[in-house]
Structure 1
Amino acid sequence: MTRINKMVLHGFKSFAKRTELLFGERFNCILGPNGSGKSNIGDALCFVLGRSSAKALRAEKSSNLIYNGGKAKKPASFGEVSIHFDNSKKSFPVEDQEIKVTRIVKQSGQSVYKINDKTKTRNEIVELLSAAKINPDGYNIVLQGDIIRFVEMSGIERRQIIEEISGMGVYEEKKEKALRELERVDEHLKEAEIILAERNTYLKELKKERDHAMKYKELSDKVNTNKASYLNIKILKHEKAKQKLLDEITEYKKKLEKLQSEVDDQKKQIEEKKSSITQITNEIEQKGEKEQVSMQREIEKLKVDVATQKTKIDTYKNEIVKVKQRKQQLLSDLKDNEENIAKLSREKDALAKDVQKKTSEMQQVEVQLKKFKEKRGIDTATDIDKQLEEIDKVSDEKQKEITQLREQQQNMLREKDKLEFQLNNIEEQIKKVKEVERENAGQITELKNKKSLFKNTILGLNSVLTKDSELAASLGDARRKLLMTQEEYSKLNARNMVVKESSMQNIAVKKIMECKTKNVIRGIHGLVSDLGKVNAKYSLALEVAAGNRIQSIVVDDDKVAADCIKYLKSNRLGIATFIPLNKIRVPEKNQNTDIKKILKSEGVHDLCTSLVKYEPQYKNVFLHVFGDTIVVNNIDVARRIGIGTARMATIDGDLCEGTGVMRGGFREKKHGVGFK
């Protein structure tokens, strides 16, 4: 027999303060008047042993087990019950001499279980108590009404209780639990088969994509080799054409020299004729100089007189037009005023008639009032008003009584509906219990046969679980590999897109430059990189500072740029950036004194625009490309100056933006578009 040493209650039901109950070695009896808390001690015992049903503890929900404070006292924040068992006979599988089991319920309804002040789960406490043959839902605790219920129950119900006491009910629960677990395992296996089938199809698709990628790689290698051979053939052709052009240039130079000599002869003849013309003009001026001066003065005077007369005529004409317009306005205002006067006179007559009617009506009303007062009298009217007020008060009181009666009627109807609903629920529960009794009557005989099957199912379950874990591990590996392949595919796809876009841009630039050489589109000056000359020391820094703008094409005006864009669209040759000289806007010069200080500091070379040599007509272009970017020695110099104070490019190819963004690292030497 397991003996209880003591039980401690704090904040549980009617026990607001900490209450300690000591139990003797023999029978213990709790006595007290009604409402003193005797039944609450029994509820506390069931509560601490782990009974989960709040209704069995005579409460609607778990939070109602906490002391509510009554009307005057403060309610408790939690309810706690601890029970101390004697373990001197080692009834519990623990070496401690005394076992303390604690259960705490919070305002949220959540319960916390402890064994010897260490937090545990409910299952751990139930297992510990079952080792000492204590069951919180068992029949070793007899509560109020249990004896009457045992006497009144049927034979089948008593047999079920005997089975539960003997331990057969536990095996039934374990059997049902095992069957449920088997069903779950079957569902997991089916899901795993479906996922495996999907993964197999997906792997096949990935294999096809890999084969396509391999083919694409082979074809791209072939295309690159063919491109190289094609470019070599083109280079040889261009060299031959270049040689021919050089021969033609030498011939044209000889012809130019001949023509230049002829031009020089013609210039000498022109100069001789000019000298003769100057002599003749000098002679004419000497002879008629005085007459010309007098005639010139008279002509100027006449011109002045004509101009003054013209201005006077214009002013007179303007004044005549203004007078005519003013006359028309005055005539229109006259007409409007006459119409308004006529309207006002009509309104005046109508108002006079209305006034006469109103005065006559007022006189008639006064006569009628006098007659009414003489017949009825004023005092009787006040009595009638008082009676009406009293009647209104009585009617309001009656109306309030009617509303109260209606509210009571509605409350009674609601209570009636609740009782009917509860009765229906009880009847349904009784029917269900009877049906369960009929169904389980035949199954009791089959229990003995299923005991042997139960062990076999457990063994099969263990083997299935091991297989399930192996399948889950293989599935996890397959998913990881799949994710790796997807990531590699997305990276390759992104690289492919970048390569395609850059190749299309290079093709577009080449085609536009071919149009320039073939004179298909006039007004093309060339690439930004071709229009400026840079020292080799600063070429990388300036290329990084320029970025993609280095591949921009400079043209005369926006019309030429539009023609080039149309040409690229119609032939599907890609995209290119154009800078029209007539529309390019020069950024305002930064008046910040910090840039002037930066240019004077150590490790700073100069502004990018100052390190490029270009023709004056391209000044706005290079200001647009570089802005206020400064060239410095390295990233340490940029940090010393201050990241974010200005846009800085280092000689080894790192870039610090004015916003504070830094971009740099290792750069491979590549042959492409750059300053020369």
Structure 2
Amino acid sequence: MLKALELTGFKSFADKTRFEFPEGITVVVGPNGSGKSNVVDAVKWVLGTTSAKSLRGKEMSDVIFKSPNQSSRRDVNSAEATIIFDNSVRILPLEQDEVRVTRRVYRSGEGEYLINDEPCRLKDIKNLIRGTGIGADAYSIIEQGKVSRMLEASSKDRRQIFEEAAGISRFKAKKLETLRRLDRVDQNLLRLSDIVDEVEGRLKAVRNQATKARRYKEYSDRLQQLRTQIGLAQWRQLNEQIQVFDDQIEEVETQSNELNLQFEQSSQAVSEFDIQLERLAGDLQRQEELSAGVREKIAESVTTQSVQTQRLEELANEIARHRIQLAVTQSGVGGIANRLSSTQDDLDESQNRLAATQSQLQILQDQQADLQLQANQLQIDTEQQRESQVTVTKQVSDAESAFNQLAATTETLEHQHQETSEQLNRVQSTISTLEEDSARHQEQAELLTAALNSAEEELEVVTREVADNRHVYSRRQENLQALTERLTAVRERSNVLEELETRNSGINETIRHLLEKQHSTDPGDDSLGVIGLVADLLEVDFSSANLIDLALGKNTQLLVTDNDRLLDACRIGRMQLESQITIINLNNIDSSFQPLTLEDDPNVVCRADQLVHCIDKYRPLFFMLLSDTWITQDLTSAQQLWQRHRGQIQVITKAGERLDHHGVVTMGPPDSSSEIISRRSELRNLKQDIYILEAQVQDNRDEQERLQANIEQQDSQLNNLREFMQRKRTSLHEQQVNLQRCLDRLEIEQKQQQNLDSGLRKIQAQQTSTATASKIQETELATLNKYLQEINSSLSRFTKASHELERQNQTLTSRAVQLRVEAGKSEQRVSALKSQLQQYAQDHEERQTVVEDQAQLLKQAQLRHNASTMQILTATSRIAGHYLTKEQYRETTFAIRDRQDEIGAERKREARTGDKLRKEMDILVSKRHEIELSSGELRSQRTTLEERLREDYDIEISSLQLDEETEEETQQREEVEREIESLRRKLNNIGAVNMEALGELTDLEERFNTLSGQFQDLTLAKQSLEKIIQRIDADSRRLFLETLETIRQNFQQLYRKAFGGGQADIILEEGVDTLEAGVEIVTSPPGKPAINISLLSGGEKALTAVSLLLAIFQFRPSPFCLLDEVDAPFDEANIGRFINVLKDFLDFTRFIIVTHSKKTMTAADTLYGVTMQESGVSKQVSVRFEDVGTNGEISDDAVRRDAA
């Protein structure tokens, strides 16, 4: 509910003004140009009006008060208006019981909005009041121009009022926002599709680059490992040399510390001597200061003795002077006491005469008071009679008006009787038509419901199938991605191994040349009999390959032949070998060798040759090489087995550890370049895995394509079903609305029929009651006229009595003046005597005080004389004591000076010892500096090594754990250097490498997956937004039709009530979508045929518009309704009907009416007046009915009464 309106500097309201709006009807009146319509403008302005034209201005700053010419007022810099709502029933979506909405604008053009004194936006205020019927352009504010514009507006513009009442304006805003979001989603989908294609192309290119980068990284890592190994050896050597110099520095440091300790002890002794000397110097200074203090005290005491002696003489003279003054003062006190007694007798006589005069004056004043009481009572009686006169006069006027109204009512009832009969015939014909339409709509609605239920069941089945297929498709996609990634990794590993095989990596250079020569030799030529390497003649499971590599060791590169031609060629020099090779002739193998039988040993897993697969031709070869090698579970079992068969077997653990025939243990990760058998076994496994993975990838792709086709088909089916259901729902809703509309109209027409039947009986009863009421009203009017004559007679008598009382009061007033003059003279005499008596008493008291002061001064002078005598004796005693203390201080000073000389000699001896120690320390510092220079050179070399490793490989060598270098590591350094050189050549041969491709590949894959997911999310979001728009349209269509039908019924009832009959209807434009259709209004005033709205009279137009707006109010009440001079076109009868209609809404709405009509004022519960006493400045005044003229002018009495 609207509670109050506060204005400050708004338009003509220069001063702060508050309008309270209690329950009921509040009427604001005032003459033309007084500013009463500014109250309406203020409400519109606060609620968000941004058009200065609608506020009757050119620009928004025109709402700020501007002082008129020749006015003493100054312009204000801002305008402010606040609307206060009672929110106890939570009409507004806030938790406060009172809500304040404020708008403020400054002359600079800046403005602000506030809710409960908190800054906000205009959008926040509109959201706050949306759907409540409150708003600058809503139906809660009805202006005279708005009434005509609503009737003359097009059907499309008129529709907006009904949309606000239906509350679908928020749906339209939500739909507009959803359409914007849908447009953004479409744009994002288009952009994202291009990006996904671009990323996918880049991903394919980067994968090729990453394969090359991985190979480069393997070589680089190995190179880093070897360079780090060399660097660690150099670091270890430099550390050992630095440590030698550090030990020397530590030795020198020890010697230096010993000397430093002795030097510190010597320095400490010197410091102690210095402290003692300093302490003695302080003691000597204090003794001298004490002696000086004693000398000063002696001088001070002598001075005090001299001063007190002089003071003693002065006090003796002062005592003699005070004794003389005391005797003179005591002699003058006696004369003043005699004059004081004589004056007291005169005062008593004057006071007696004054009391007699005041007694006579009091008697006259009592008589005047009695007369005044009688006059006041007479004045009260007169005012009461005058008020009765005004009341009875108004009652006479009201009775005459009521009598005239009854006559008009009688005429109206006769006209209504005739119209009601005609309406009854029309209603019966309408009922028959509506019953037929209802049956037809009911049948069509049942058919549509059956079709819709069937479609919903089919939709549910298809939706489940689509969800299942999407779930399966998602799993297939995840499997495909995992298989693709695994296939890529396997292929890359296989490519690396194949390249190593192609280059015969890890094989002796000479053997490689022999094998190449053997392969290139024509089979018909003389062959060297080379079969191949041992590693070429066997196959091993990948899980056991590393064990066979370890068991064979260097024998993996054993060259196998079937004759001795190779040996002969080497022996006669026909073939030159670049490096050492090992050859075995299959024909020379001793097959009679019998190995140990250890299968039953619990520590044994198997014999090594049992893990090898080969043709029978080569079985003796591997039996010879591996039959003495046994496999165990762990190193402990291997050691136990080797101990039992020392020197006869070689033992290998599953973890890759080896104990050879001599007990030498080999452990740790193997060199990948020497694992030829493991490499070939892994390559065979990888090729099998590639074949299997390729088949699985193809199967998954085929399955995905099949699922995708099914999903697309089912999606199309779902869309068709949804469109079919939407069409059916729309048709069903339209049929239901039509059916409900027919039923509602049928119910209304049936009720109207009943109302018309009873209406004829009521009209006859009303005619009878109206005639009776007219007779009663006539009798009451005669009684009131007689009572008015009696009141006039009483007023005449009261006037005569008032004149007589005034004459008696004048006589008493004259006598009282004479007595007041006599009393005044007596009071002056008494006052003079009291003043003289007071002066004498004051003189006597002052002289007595002087006597006491003289006696006190004499006593004080005697006391000071005695005190001075005592101070002289005390000063003499102190002088003697100070001379004794001075002699004691002089003896102590001589003793301190002797002690200073002794300590100074001891300090010089200790200082010479410290100088000798400092020279020895300087020699040690020079020696340490030489050692540190040598150590610094080594540290510089170590730092260079550390920085090189840090810059090249980001290795902090200082943080690594360093072990002592073994003899074996020293021997292998040359091999490491050669391998480093080989790796550098390989890196150069690879060429340009994009190392960032490895990281970019991961990023691209993640980005591709992310973008693909976003693309799917946007597609789903688009579908969701389209569904939201469909739902908004359906809800808006339903709410609008329901609202329109309810308002239509309300309008028909209110129209008949406002016009006392007639018909009106609201019709929706046909052949147009419900969400776009215009709204037409058809009316038929009583006694007139159906005519166009433009042909109605001004009063009929206004009453029709008000009826329509109040019909909207009845459907969706607003907390308040502001009516700005809408009753201007009405005559007296129409105003009465208008007021009767408003009273039906007072339970839930507060009405504020700006008007000139006195008829409208009679309905007011609260009445405000607006006037302009000061030019251009509106002022609110409280007025009564009789204070307002016919043109809204307010009487001067009301203005003066309000000011008082």
- Per the normalisation by structure 1, the TM-score is 0.31
Higher share of residues assigned helix: 2
- Per the normalisation by structure 2, the TM-score is 0.18
Larger radius of gyration between Structure 1 and Structure 2: 2
